Structure 1
Amino acid sequence: MTRTHKEIFERYLYAGSITRNPDAIAEMFTEDGVFEAPLVPEGHPLPRRLVGRDAIRAGIGAYHQEPAFHGTVNVEETAYVLHDTVAPDVFVAEIDPVFDGPDGQRTTMSLAQIFRVRDGRIAMVRDYFAVPSAARD
C-alpha cells in the first residue's frame, strides 16, 4: 500500500508528539532509516544522528523521558504545511506545534522537517528544531 506524504507525516506526528511512542516511530522507518536533529546541542539526550530502527527507538525513547518536554500537544492549535519537492520521494514539513504545560503555560515550538521516503516508510528525516531555552538551563 502506498501512503501519501500527508498520511506518512500525520502518522509520524501522532506516534511522536502526540503519543510519544518510540516503537511506533521506529516501525515507520526503513530498516536502515536515519533520524537527524542537526540543531540539538552537544550532550543533549537526543543524539544528532540515529541510524537504524533500534537506535531510533532507543534515542527517541530517551528523549521523550526528558521532563522539559512534559506537555500535552494542543492538536487544535497546532498547525503544519507540507511541501512537495521535485523529487517524488522527498517532502518538507513546516510545523508549529503548540504545547499546553501542566502549569497552564502554552508554548509554540516552530520547526521544519525534511522527509525522504522509500516503499511507504521513512528512509530519512532531518528534524530542524531548537531546544526550548528552559531545557538548556
Structure 2
Amino acid sequence: MTNPQEIFQRYVYAGAMSRDPDAVAALFTEDGVYEAPLAGDGDVFPRRLAGRDVIRAGMAAAYARMPAAGDDPVDPSRTSFALHTTGDPDVFVAEIDTTLTSGTRMSLVQIFRVRDGLIHHLRDYFAPLR
C-alpha cells in the first residue's frame, strides 16, 4: 500500500463501508494518530485516538453507537471524492461529499500523513454525527 489512491480506498472500505475497527486499525502505524478536531463531547467519533490499539477500541465504540453499516450504508452512486497531493510525498488531502442511502449528506476533508505505507496521522474534519 504505497499510493494515496490505494491508502484512501482501503481506509474508506474499512471504515465507512464495512465499519471494521480491526481493519481500520491495521491501516495505521503502531503509533498512529486519528484526530477529529471538530468532534465534541457526546459525539459518535472521539476527538483524538493515539496508538493502533486505542484506534481499534475507539472506532469499535464509535461504530457501536452508529446504525449498522447495512442499515444506512454509503450510496456510492451519490458520493464523490477528490484526492490532492502536496509538496510532501507523505501527505495527501481527501475531499469527500458522501450521501447515505437514507439521503443523509456529509462533507469531509481528511489530511493523511503516511509513513512506510501506513497512516501515521489522520485529521478528519467533518460535522460530527450525533
Normalising by structure 1, report the TM-score: 0.88
Unaligned runs of 5+ in 1: none
CA RMSD of aligned residues (A): 1.4
C-alpha deviation, 1:45, in angstroms: 4.0
Q: Deviations over 1:19-75 (max 9, x none)?
A: 000000000000000000000112334221100111100111111112467521111
Structure with more contact order per residue of length (Cα contacts < 8 Å, sep ≥ 6) = 2
Give the Cα–Cα distance (whole angstroms) in 2 for the partners of residues 113 and 90 of structure 1.
11
2:118 corresponds to 1:118? no
Q: For the structure 1 residues 67 and 24, does the alpha-carbon distance in structure 2 shift closer, same or farther, using more than 3 Å as the test?
A: closer
Q: In the alignment, is the contact (CA less than 8 A) between 2:33 and 2:50 conserved in 1?
A: yes
Distance in 2 of aligned mates of 1:7 and 1:96: 19
Report which of the two structures shows the higher radius of gyration computed on alpha carbons.
1
Task: Indicate yes or no: 2:128 matched with 1:128.
Answer: no
- Any residues of structure 2 matched to 1:57-96 within 5 Å, and which? 57-67=56-66, 71-96=72-97
Moved over 3 A (4+): 67-70
Taking only the aligned residue pairs, the percentage that are identical comes to 53
TM-score normalised by the chain length of structure 2? 0.92
Q: Give the match for residue 107 of structure 1.
A: 104
